[in-house]
Structure 1
Amino acid sequence: MSSFQFRTSRVQYMVRLFRTLCAMLVALNTLPALATEQVVSVPLSGGQSIACLLTQKDGSQPAWVLVMMPGGDGRLDLTQQPDGGITLREKNNFLVRARGLIVDDRFATAIVDSPSDLPDGYTDRFRASSRHTQDIAEIAADLKRRFPGAKLVLVGTSRGTISTAFAGRDLGSTWQAVIHTSTLSSPSRGQALPLAGFDYNAIQARQLFVHHADDACFLCSFDAAKRISVGHDFITVSGGNASGNPCKAMAHHGFNGQDASVVAAIKAWIDGAAWPKEVN
């Protein structure tokens, strides 16, 4: 073997070794949290159904189950393959991508899809409707049957905070806590109008608002978020990375680059531990 062939072989070996080590690190960091995932279909009246992605650690009996409402149109197209693999849209959404950081022995998550009769996903108006609240109530009832000892927390991000506002208020005793992240705090241009003048004090459960100080989405003024959260808990996020549309998940609006710190703060708040009022 020539010296050139030896060096080439050596480089190829090192590349393979590096890829293997990277794969091992990824597995070590994600497998415990994502040990069990299943798409659960919950029947609704009129022959419709609504699905959620239930994620829990193998063998766990969680104390908390987070019912999570992603942003945008909320359409995930959840599908479980015969081999157990999950396919879904909106993989970059903060709540979708953060589920692996949330799930452990004490926490499980249920990410809610749009119902079968809304193939194009949610409108802002539907998120504020009694029908939407009843759909979420059916999911909550299914989760309570699965985890009778667990407490339920309603969590939304961006447009999902329309859902947390109305279902948080109208299903008061269902929730131990309600969390609004990247809240649509400044409705305008015909968008997020159901939240204009919404009375957050009408929500029975304790509440947490989480907002990035540099959120540049026109519907999500940081100063407005501070105003509407008065009397409730608030976490200010700074730092991280921002790219693309300021109202999308890879901008500060989606806490890009701060996932782990934001999730740790939220979990501490839920669990009654010391929690930071600033994440940076």
Structure 2
Amino acid sequence: MTLEFLGLYRETLHSPQRELDDLEILKSTAEELKKKGIKVTLLKPEEFLKERKKWENSNLSLIFAMCERKEILKILESFESSFIPVLNPIQAIWNTYRYRMVSLLNLAKVSFPVSELVSTHASHSKNFNSHPYPFWVKRGDVHNTQAGDVSLVKTAIELENVLSNFKARGISQAVLQEHLNGDLVKFYGIGSPAITNSRFSAWFKWFYHKDQDLKKHQFSEDLLKKLTQSTAQALGLEIYGGDAVVLPDGKIFVIDINAWPSFALFRAEAASAIASYLLVRSEKKARVFTTVKVS
């Protein structure tokens, strides 16, 4: 019987300045899956919501989803409950919401900057947790949707302005995060340690961010890979990307991680690896469901 996969695009609002890149990685993955003889349908989130009943009564083998909004994630949870694997697992996508991420990464004791979750309705004019300015202020739920969702603040006035802006937009929580001086690195990963299969080995790439005063501090690439994989595992992510900082002494800190990035610089290679991984994950013996939760 031919396997049937459903792919869901990311919401346009959640792809600021990355709309095309996000579209292309899903399309490229679908093409690689079709080469393997798999029937693939790609839908926008709003299309899926309209066709929900059709897909509930289908013979889907797997759903691969870039979407992030609460409404659709709650619906996809019902598919997981019917033992249809969803990649990334829905709980893992929930865990990338920063108000969950901070707690989970602290519990996992991964190398992560000092971070504090605060209400946007309170005054925070004092330096957070005794750390001096500057530090980062990030919206406390999803990742960037527009300019100002992540800001480096240098004064108490700037901090209050950012928090007031969040409050006005209906964002109730923010993360205040320690600023670390070092080389900024982007990383991508595919695979979970919970999957052991001779047909797939964990895929990993990294590169330096542009537009920085790059020092090229010496560090262990193997340590970067292990750290990013441990961070992803703490959240339950299997297809992921993020940012890390390498300090002058070679220490590495993951500063952010998200579900299913665009893989823009490695699109063709990543699409092939993702397709192979999805095929492995569609097999019953390889299904993994994230159980870690933070309320």
- TM-score, normalised by the number of residues in structure 1: 0.38
Q: Work out which structure has the larger RCO, using CA pairs closer than 8 Å and 6 or more positions apart in sequence.
A: 2
- TM-score, normalised by the number of residues in structure 2: 0.37
- Bigger Cα Rg: 1
